[in-house]
A and B are shown apart, each in its own frame.
Chain A
Amino acid sequence: VSETLYAVAIEVNGKRCEARVPARLSLVDWLRDELRLTGTHVGCEHGICGACSVMLDGEPVRSCLMYTAQANGHRITTVEGLAKPDGSMSALQDAFCETHGLQCGYCTPGMLIAAQGLLNSNPNPTEEQIRDAIGGNLCRCTGYQQIVEAVELAARRLREAK
């Protein structure tokens, strides 16, 4: 049975990507399976765990809760898009390494997107605001404390760099 394909043009990490996709292809599956951007992880696949978080037009959303066709004409940033243009880590990513803000790493891409979304709109977040921002992202290595520390460290460095 042939399925209707829909043409999309989506800007992913600054690059225009064109494709023809079935309507039911979720954004996360397209990013991972078609674009091979496997940094974005698939966890629960129904909007609970936050591992698949990406930025849609600069704001964190869950990419398992969007169909690829819905992203047509929009701008997506995945975890691969957080690094600096030369490929070196962002301040937030460095901070995650330094504070041991990850253990198994499965939740990390989602945590980074959620935390970066917070820092973009709030350069001086309180601990409560950080915890709220990552509240939709599950970590099963119980690493929340160090993740909060990582975001605090990155926020401080980004403020000092300004």
Chain B
Amino acid sequence: VHRARAGRILALSLRPHSRDRTLKAVSFEYARAASLAEACALLATHGDSAKLIAGGQSLVPMMAMRLVRPAFLVDINEIGALKFVKIEKDVVRIGACTRQCVVEHDDALAARVPLLRQALGWVGHVQTRNRGTVGGSLAHADPSAELPLAAQVLGAKIVLRSAKGTRTLDSGNFFTGPMSTAMRPVECLEEIHWPIWGEKPCGSAFTEISIRHGDFAMAAAAAQVAIGADGRCTRAAFGLGGAAGMPLAFPKIAARLVGTKLEDKAIEDAAGDAAKECDPGSDLHATKAYRRHLAGVLAGRALREARDRAKAVR
């Protein structure tokens, strides 16, 4: 019997290759756009049936599982004009198709918007950051993803282009729910503007809890604070990921920290208030109550770490 089975397995493995067995995604048409204008024209032509592919680190698995079934794939990976990091006075502009590894290794950028490198330390692995893009992560809008949380905390602006022109959205208006954004099917994310805080000294921090490092967070927190000459907070921002249908920032709660010395008590109160505003889901890995607990703990941790970094600057 064993010999017969072995023979059959051998016969199967020697069977001429059949493409149908290995093609996981549904059939689609493909075009490599040479320019942003061409990508927008293709989107305008194909409308809802088209999908943009950037790094593909989330889209390709979803297509492999046939959760996403585009009839037409517009590849923007070869558009050089979408890959740049430009440091300006108050803002760093990053092209949508800039690889995450490029942002991670840019020291000049890290000196101005340190939260980006801190967030990327939690994003996937070397192989996925080599291919994954900044714009792709935002457009994918996973509620527990790191870059969307950083965008919410810093109040990034997102520039969208269609064949008809461009429009700019605040991150708060860009994210609309789990895996959904205000982007129209005919739009392509063009660039992201990350504010540089003028206040000095300033510190930021990103932290999260996940099953394994590099997995999506069960809960994540990011914070940035500035401290004045008198030791009092002059500006604060923080937010939580994995704690609702989209990453949340808490500008009103953060504003209450301004003027305090960011004592542990003030931070714990702010973190606790933020946790109350969360609406996390339950799944196999964590209940709603546990995620809410994590959210409060992590928000406090991120704020304390940001404070300590700001203090270390002076």
Give the interface of A toward B (CB within 8 A). Answer: 1, 3-4, 6, 22-26, 29, 33-34, 45-47, 50, 53, 56, 59-62, 64-67, 69-70, 72, 114, 117-118, 132-133, 135-137
Contacts and interface: CB of A to CB of B under 8 A. Distances in A.
Contacts of A26: 22, 24, 60, 64
Contacts of B29: 4, 23
24 contacts: A1-B27, A4-B29, A23-B73, A24-B63, A25-B22, A26-B60, A26-B64, A33-B17, A46-B60, A47-B60, A59-B101, A60-B127, A61-B130, A62-B131, A64-B64, A65-B128, A67-B30, A70-B32, A70-B75, A70-B77, A72-B32, A114-B127, A135-B213, A136-B124
Contacts of B181: none
Contacts of B130: 56, 59-61
A119 to B, nearest CB: 13
Contacts, number: 101
A67 B125 contact: no
A5 B279 CA distance: 47
A70 B23 CA distance: 16
Contacts of B60: 26, 46-47, 64-67
B30 A23 contact: yes
B contact face: mostly helix, strand, loop, or mixed: mixed
Interface in B15-64: 17, 19, 22-30, 32, 53, 56-57, 60-61, 63-64
A contact face: mostly helix, strand, loop, or mixed: mixed
A46 B56 contact: no
B126 A117 contact: yes
Contacts of A66: 56, 60, 131
